Amino acid sequence: MFRGLSAFPITPADADGRVDVEALQRLVKRLVDAKVDSIGLLGSTGSYPYLSRAERRRAIEAAAAIAKGKSPILVGSGAMRTDEAVALARDAEEAGADALLLAPVSYTPLTDREVFTHFETVAAAVKLPVCIYNNPGTTHFTFSAGLVARLSRIANIVAVKNPAPDAGHVFAQLEDLRARVGRDFSLGFSGDWKVTETLIAGADAWYSVVGGLFPEPCMAIVRAVREGKPADARKLNADLQPLWDLFIAHSSLRVVYAAANALGIVKAAPPRPILPLEPDAERQVREVVERLRLR
């Protein structure tokens, strides 16, 4: 479940926040057909904070109708209030999720004690395995290795999704976390342009934005690592550098929406107040997609 490529699609929706079920199912089917290791639904790429509880459930049900029994579905259940996060977690469990991805969403900065209690409460409300979502760029809360270790002792908290460190710090971070949480706890990373080195170093999972739209090149990198071919993995990653440059310049969310629209897979815009890319940047995305022959 928490191994290999976890592909995170966008959640196409209209201006009122109503999910385009057919478009979402097209995206999910691409991932199922590519045999990704799991599907990360309603993550940051899936714009979960911008959707109502009802629409989040509709998205889960729509994805489960395509993926259930084929690709496990990891569902984001983060919310500002603990009781809301519990309700969303239970909704996800009932609607067909196989696991939860939980971020400490907050307006007021949280303490370690508050985050621990939040996670303990949500995890106790469901039977699903839970992955810690460490996304300080969005939540403004950073999980220390010590806090991850404490949370790993809760029975159904079984994984963490961390931002990928720079290549020079990968081994040290992995060794430190492994020593604290044990071999059975999954250590995964996001930040597509950095993750190849974490996989080569022994990370368990890649939580991928680009994999949610273009799973094939990401699966190729994962397979190369699994087959003990780090040079091939690095070459495949380097081939995607024009796309990584766009991610860094414009944000992965905006770029992946532009790419999905350029291919005609969806017709959707990011949730307001996030705006689509400017025409010149959209042109750059189209050119890169065509040059890399991404389909």
Residues annotated in the binding site, as ranges?
45
Residues in the chain: 295
Positive or negative, the CA dihedral 119, 125, 126, 127 is positive
Q: Which of 48, 133, 207, 257 is catalytic?
A: 133
**Would you give the distance in Å from CA 109 to the centre of its chain?**
23
Q: d(Cα 251, Cα 272) in Å, to the nearest integer? A: 15
* CA distances from residue 42 to 36, 77, 92, 252 in whole angstroms, order as listed: 16, 8, 10, 15
State the amino acid at position 84 in one-letter form: E
State the amino acid at position 285 in one-letter form: V
- Pick from 187, 212, 217, 182: nearest CA to 201: 187
Q: Which of 48, 161, 207, 257 is catalytic?
A: 161
Q: Is 161 a catalytic residue?
A: yes
Task: For 82-106, give one letter per residue: b (16+ CB within 10 A) or e.
Answer: beebbbbbebbbebbbbbbbbbbbb
Annotated binding site for pyruvate: 45
DSSP 56-98: HHHHHHHHHHHHTTTS-EEEE---SSHHHHHHHHHHHHHHT-S
Catalytic residues: 133, 161
